[in-house]
Structure 1
Amino acid sequence: MKNTVDIQLEFNNNTLRAKEPTTLLLIPISSEESTTPLSLEEVHTKDIHLIVVSEDLSFFTHEHQQKEGKGYTVNLTFPFAGKFFLYSDIKPLGGFPVVVQKTVVVAGEQKEAQHYQHEVLSASIEGVYVQLDVNDSSAIKVHIQRNGILIPASSLGDFLGAKAHVVMISQESKEYLHVHPMVHKDELVLHADVKAKGIFRTWLQFLLEDRLYTFDFVLSMKELSLSGHHH
């Protein structure tokens, strides 16, 4: 079926500038009837999950909007100049889930672009340590520890209707996946429908004792996985 869903993007400044707050307006529309805003279904407690990344994938944010009139508003501050990709993860009323990708160019002070070549499978934030087990790329296991003690998945909070959210974006093609890990034997297991091989920047978000943690990784996908988006 042909995808006829689009996002009309408006912002309050004539030019987007790095380090200057801006308000974005996202209006879901049909590309065939662009004058009529689309109604959306709530998915994982939100109408739109907006993922914003820089072109080099060094910057990531997962934002949620306030319904305002004909669209949804979100306040953003871009950290540096350059090209940024906006992925709007939505489900039109009575339709199928879809991801609409938009590109904006931000003026101002630039920074040297990052290029990721080697896998990074572990990360830590203030005593919380996460290790990815990628021995089976179709079922990536997530091990979470705090101060050396394993944290069972059942002890994680409910973040947007799931125990965790994972976003994966291909460094080469910018292929996007938003996956919710399954809980198996009290650990998180990630099944991702990856259609391209190569380097994927990966961000894991979960709640632990009411604090939202965001960990980032670099995965080298050598084999295509089996199951996928929003399972």
Structure 2
Amino acid sequence: MNAPSKFAGFALGLAAVFGIALGVGALIGPEPAEPAGHDEHEAVAPPTELPGGLMATDQGYTLELDQPNTQAAAQSTTSFRILDRTGAPVTQYVTSHDKDLHLIVVRRDMAAFQHVHPVLDTTGTWTVPLNLSRAGDYRVYADFTPASGSNLTLGADLRVAGNYDARALPGPKTTAQVDGYTVTLDGTVTPGTASQVKLSVSRDGRPVTDLQPYLGAYGHLVALRAADLAYLHVHPEGTPGDGVTVAGPGIDFVVNAPSSGDYRLFLDFQHEGVVRTAEFTVRVAQPDATVVTDDPATAPADHGTPGHGH
């Protein structure tokens, strides 16, 4: 074959290969000229940390109830263990708010609440008497810090057999009555932010200014999300005896609500040697949420797409 013929054959072959490459490229899609820079990628938000109490196992630790099913009784001895990742009971804890472990027990309709402090034996078993006279499904929360770990709140279900008198969640109120005391809630809880609230205690219309320390503060607040009983992180402000924090009537807290919805707040406070619990329902909404009402006279003006009412 002469040179011109060889060249023509080579050119035809090259064209065929190039055409195939173009076809494949059209099917697969073009390759970027150069890798995208770090700043060019869409930012991905880190995963949101779950609220406490939704899991029985977290960070290698497990809450294990000895008897997750029991009968209704006014005095029911309950025992449990915190197991490490090897399955061994944890026996060493860090003291927090004057106790090595706080146990919160609440019926799922939140009509029965207890905050107690079990006793730990040498085998790693915690034991505590509970008032389980009201049948139903309960959520048990263990709030603790193991000696070799960080603070955790683990949750487990406790089923109490008997006649279950289910109750509807009480509506939101800013005052609560307990044993002749009135507790008033001030402040707005906003989802996704650290919200400051004040709970003020009075009796017979007079402010109580001699509250007694309880669990290292003048009050201890537990907050639960009604939809799934998620356990919120709540922090008291100030410390008794620090020269700044007064012994009432107001007790300041920082509440972190992860989402909108109804929440149940339980305030334990001590006065004249007795610990009492005031209970509130709080409705948490986004700041721009529009309140829905059936009364045209009180309905907000229409400014476009309505927000979600709560």
- TM-score under structure 1 length normalisation: 0.85
Structure 2 CA distance for partners of 1:182 and 1:176, relative to 1, 3 Å: same
Structure 1, unaligned runs of 5 or more? 225-231
Percent of aligned positions that are identical:
26
Name the amino acid aligned to 1:24: T
Distance 2:220 2:89 in 1: 31
Asked if 1:44 corresponds to 2:97, the answer is: yes
- 2:203 equivalent to 1:146: yes
**Which residues of structure 2 form unaligned runs of 5+?**
1-48, 50-57, 239-243, 288-310
| Aligned counterpart for 1:188 among listed residues 251, 264, 277 | 251
Equivalence map 1:34-183=2 (5 Å): 34-70=87-123, 71-111=125-165, 113-116=166-169, 118-135=171-188, 137=190, 138-152=195-209, 155-183=210-238
The residue type paired with residue 156 of structure 1 is L
RMSD (CA atoms): 2.3
Q: What secondary structure sits across from 2:77 in the alignment?
A: strand
Could you say which structure has the higher helix fraction? 2
Partner SS for 2:103: strand
Against the structure 1 CA distance between its residues 96 and 145, is the aligned structure 2 distance closer, same or farther, given a 3 Å change threshold? same
The residue matched to 2:133 in structure 1 has which SS? coil
Partner of 1:207: 270
CA contact (8 A) 1:116 1:199 kept: no
In 2, Cα distance between the equivalents of 1:148 and 1:20? Answer: 34
Deviation string, structure 1 residues 70-119 (Cα, Å, up to 9, x no partner): 211111231222211000001010311000100021111111x2222621
Question: How far has the Cα of 1:161 moved from its partner?
Answer: 1.3
CA separation of 1:179 and 1:135: change in aligned 2, threshold 3 A? closer
- Taking structure 2 as the reference length, the TM-score comes to 0.65
Higher strand proportion (structure 1 or 2): 1
Which residue is 1:217 aligned to? 280
Shift of 1:20: 5.3
Aligned to 1:33: 86
Letter in 2 for 1:65: P
Contact 1:39 1:93 (C-alpha < 8 Å) held by counterparts: yes
Match of 1:7 in 2: 63
In the TM superposition, structure 1's runs of 4+ consecutive aligned residues that sit over 6 Å from their partners are none
Deviation, structure 1 residue 19: 2.1
Contact 2:69–2:158 (CA under 8 A) maintained in structure 1: no
The CA deviation at 1:136 is 6.0
One-letter identity of the residue aligned with 1:143: S
**CA separation in 1, counterparts of 2:91 and 2:176?**
40
Q: What do residues 57-79 of structure 1 show as CA deviations (whole Å, max 9, x unaligned)?
A: 11100011112232111112312
